Structure 1
Amino acid sequence: MATILITNALTINEGTAIHQDLRIRDGRIDAIGGDLSGRGADRVVDAGGRVLLPGMIDDQVHFREPGLTHKGDIGSESRAAVAGGITTYMEMPNTAPATTTIDRLEEKHRIAGQTSYANYSFYLGGANDNIEIIKQLDPKQACGVKVFMGASTGNMLVDDPVALEQIFTHSPTIVATHCEDSPTIDENTGRFQAIHGEDIPIALHPAIRSEAACYQSTALAVELAGRCNTRLHVLHLSTARELGLLSSLPLEKKRITAEVCVHHLFFSGTDYRDKGNLIKCNPAIKTEEDRRQLLAALEKGTIDVVGTDHAPHTLAEKQQPYLKAPSGLPLVQHALVSLLEHVHTGALTLEQVAEKTAHSPAKLFDVRERGYLREGYWADLVLVDLEHPTVVDDQPVHYRCGWTPFAGHTFRSSVAATFVSGHLAYHDGRIDPDPAGQRLEFDR
């Protein structure tokens, strides 16, 4: 592999911001220092004072392969990810067929080994009837075990209390949960159908996928984890109320951690008026107060990780009436620049962005030699320009679905370059045609 020298960068790493150079050799960070220009390189990238961060590790995406590839696949969605500064992703099991066996898990890894532009790992899906398979899982074979504790997409709802307790007790690795209470959602849906028939307004989505539905399910997950001594990771928090179930201790001292997604930090309930089904997702985007409290909890340490829950659907599917329109947003291409908006407003620092998008997910999932700017680590890097805006409508949309919920928006920052395992995967608006993603290794 080529030796690449990045000069004149403001490096953000482990709570520090330092102007220095960084050299990549054989895919890894070979040296970091004040002036490395005299040591030779095959290629020089002048950062020009722009910000160099460890690449974003997205702990929750849906890339739709196998079985749903009219919406996207591992190749198409990972291309969009590197264009957005995401160097690593962890993909969900609700494909067709669902990833509930070891053979299906390994088939996904095989596909990604040929087509993925970013580094990758996959969750094994929990089900009511696959506890013996979960017990057999090598903890180094998957990023985690995903449990849908509320109906979402597909048929992976785990609603048998005995099966839930068995998974929480016997999973050999982290259990990541989607927490919404299905009976509450069904009751809310029926109540609004009695009023509106089949023409329920999209603005009622957060009343259907309600705060109570989220809180009840998250409380159950936390109670189960405490009783079963489970390493639990609660995905996509959407309400302020759920924060009371969590701790603000340092990550190293937690057995229960949590994630928030970029869209729950960016949009609020008032946006349904203009965006409609384009921001319909599960759990629902809720109130402005919820959004503010989630952002504050991220800064405080109650929330440990920022992810995307990238979940593309075709525009035709989204244009159906509320009850038929699927939930999920395509997000990876603009996730990082949307998060950097909170740096511009002063709600977050660059150091906190690096912590929540790279350091913490690497630590939480025991990812080997990634997530930091450290000599000897893999060179997963993103160079961002805080002064050059991203006009979303002026950019090509790299998702197969061809649309973005951020249409019409201008972000104040942009992604200038993305390095995946030392490979310059994205630079100045161009995605390199050669996929260079690697399978994640775990120190477990």
Structure 2
Amino acid sequence: MNNVLIKNANIVNEGKILNGDVYIENGFFKEIAPQISAKSPNVQVFDAEGKYLLPGVIDDQVHFREPGLTHKATIETESRAAIAGGITSFIEMPNTNPQTTTIEKLEEKFEIASKTSYANYSFMFGGTNDNLEEILKVDSKNVAGLKLFLGSSTGNMLVDNPEVLEKIFSSTDLVISVHCEDEETIRNNTAIYKEKYGDDIPIELHPIIRSEEACYISSSNAVALAKKTGARLHVFHLSTAKELELFSNKIPLKDKKITAEVCIHHLWFSDEDYKEKGTLIKWNPAVKTSKDRDALFEALLNDKLDVIATDHAPHTKEEKDNVYTKAPSGGPLVQHALPAMLEFYHKDKISLEKIVEKMCHNPAILFQVEKRGYIKEGYCADAVLVDLNAPWTVNTDNIAYKCGWSPFEGTTFKSRITHTFVNGSLVYKNFKFYDVKNGQRLTFDR
């Protein structure tokens, strides 16, 4: 393994931006100082003058579709797209085919990733109404956490038995991550509009069908159950202003028992974009109003929302081009999440330090990821160099997703990810990928 020296970088880390050098040895940050000289002739030197060095992004919610749905994506293709977006670690969801609801199926995924992933990886174990025995076998030091679908599930992963839910919440010390939408509300709303429009329901009605009420009923129930049982709860992809009242910014993240995240699409798009984007921005939970979007952004800044994630969930363009009831929800985001957040920086909506806090530091704190998420001596050397003044436009020639499309197609970003390092190795540089599958299994300090 070549050792690496990054010179003259603006290092964004722990609430500060400092100019200096970073020396990487054997995959770890060895020294961070104002000036460092190359230690030996075989050191790879990068002059970062004018660029910003960020810790590698940790994305706590992705769907990479393997096994079983590999016509949409694979761990190899989407981890490759992730490193192009500065995401060096990911936590992948259990609703694959077969589902990740047994220890055997979980370990099969780890085996695939160990051979094919460009980025560091972990997986959520999936809960069902009848697999508590398997949940209790999960080793919390080696698995990111437990995922429960309290709405919008696939297969048999909807956990809708109140007694089972309480037993799960009471029995595990894993971080319980939840998708919150009330199925009964959604079914009733869908029936109303299906009677009027058939299958071709206007996409603009998506946030009316998957409504604020549906989100709030489910998330408030989950929060109440967590408070009752003392469970460690993390609510995925908040989409409404109303839900924010359920969360607090009164204590540090490391002490919180109930946390929440926001996803890129809920910060970027609003219901005004359905007319242009159609089903390409059909997500569950739905993209809602500009008022909701603004409230989510404010909550991100004031620390009611703890992390930024992608909920990367690709489908083929052909699948997305169907009528409303047949078009699947979800879209690809890992390649464009950090550039999108940097666009908000250019608009003076968020600082670089806050972006790093929410995308790098806080996921590491929340999931207790060992030795990642920071540029610190002794930590694994996951890092991203960013040029804030190198505009580029998203198009089919530079989209890395297997599905070949992006909801950002045609968007010009001012900032470019120029270099991505995973465990000290250069894996990506200016739209060029190196065939270095250097991802490692994440471990957790629990």
Give the TM-score normalised by structure 2: 0.98
Distance in 1, Cα, partners of 2:404 & 2:397: 11
Distance in 2, Cα, partners of 1:372 & 1:15: 11
SS across alignment from 1:58: strand
Distance in 2, Cα, partners of 1:394 & 1:364: 35
SS across alignment from 1:103: helix
Q: Which amino acid aligns with 2:168?
A: I
Distance in 1, Cα, partners of 2:8 & 2:153: 46
Aligned to 2:20: 20
Aligned to 1:121: 122
Aligned to 2:163: 162
SS across alignment from 2:345: helix
SS across alignment from 1:221: helix
SS across alignment from 2:328: coil
1:310 to 309, 312, 318: 312
CA contact (8 A) 1:120 1:439 kept: yes
Aligned to 1:5: 5
CA contact (8 A) 2:312 2:330 kept: yes
Deviation of 1:135 (Å)? 1.3
Q: Which amino acid aligns with 1:326?
A: P
Deviation of 1:6 (Å)? 0.4
Q: Which moved more, 1:165-174 or 1:393-402?
A: 393-402
Aligned to 1:29: 29
CA contact (8 A) 1:19 1:49 kept: no
Deviation of 1:393 (Å)? 1.7
Aligned to 1:377: 379
Aligned to 2:141: 140
Distance in 1, Cα, partners of 2:371 & 2:187: 44
Q: Which amino acid aligns with 1:279?
A: I
Distance in 2, Cα, partners of 1:162 & 1:411: 48
Distance in 2, Cα, partners of 1:105 & 1:369: 23
CA contact (8 A) 1:80 1:398 kept: yes
Deviation of 1:38 (Å)? 4.6
Aligned to 1:366: 368
Deviation of 1:353 (Å)? 0.6
1:221-242 C-alpha deviation (Å, 9 max, x unpaired) = 0000000100000000000100
User: How many percent of aligned residue pairs carry the same amino acid?
Assistant: 55
Distance in 1, Cα, partners of 2:390 & 2:76: 28
SS across alignment from 2:395: helix
CA contact (8 A) 1:95 1:154 kept: no
Q: Which amino acid aligns with 1:152?
A: S
Distance in 2, Cα, partners of 1:101 & 1:141: 15
1:271 to 269, 273, 286: 273
Rate the CA distance shift 1:179–1:28 in 2: closer, same or farther, 3 A: same
Deviation of 1:138 (Å)? 1.2
Deviation of 1:395 (Å)? 4.4
CA contact (8 A) 1:135 1:172 kept: no
Q: Which moved more, 1:366-375 or 1:34-43?
A: 34-43
Rate the CA distance shift 1:89–1:360 in 2: closer, same or farther, 3 A: same
Distance in 1, Cα, partners of 2:307 & 2:392: 24
Distance in 1, Cα, partners of 2:432 & 2:28: 22
Aligned to 2:326: 324
Distance in 2, Cα, partners of 1:382 & 1:401: 25
1:291-324 C-alpha deviation (Å, 9 max, x unpaired) = 1110110000000000000000000000010100
Give the TM-score normalised by structure 1: 0.99
Q: Which amino acid aligns with 1:375?
A: E
CA contact (8 A) 1:84 1:334 kept: yes
SS across alignment from 1:123: strand
Deviation of 1:262 (Å)? 0.6
Deviation of 1:340 (Å)? 1.0
Q: Which amino acid aligns with 2:325?
A: L
Aligned to 1:205: 206
CA contact (8 A) 1:123 1:142 kept: yes
Q: Which amino acid aligns with 2:96?
A: T
Aligned to 2:197: 196
Would you say 1:149 and 2:150 are equivalent positions? yes
Q: How do residues 248-263 of structure 1 correspond to structure 2 at under 5 angstroms? A: 248-249=249-250, 250-263=252-265
Name the Cα RMSD after superposition.
1.0
Would you say 1:39 and 2:43 are equivalent positions? no
Deviation of 1:345 (Å)? 1.2
Deviation of 1:166 (Å)? 1.2
- Runs of 5+ in structure 2 lacking a partner? none
Deviation of 1:167 (Å)? 1.2
* Alignment length (residue pairs): 444
Distance in 1, Cα, partners of 2:152 & 2:372: 33
CA contact (8 A) 1:83 1:426 kept: yes
1:332-376 C-alpha deviation (Å, 9 max, x unpaired) = 011100011111111111110110001000011010000001001
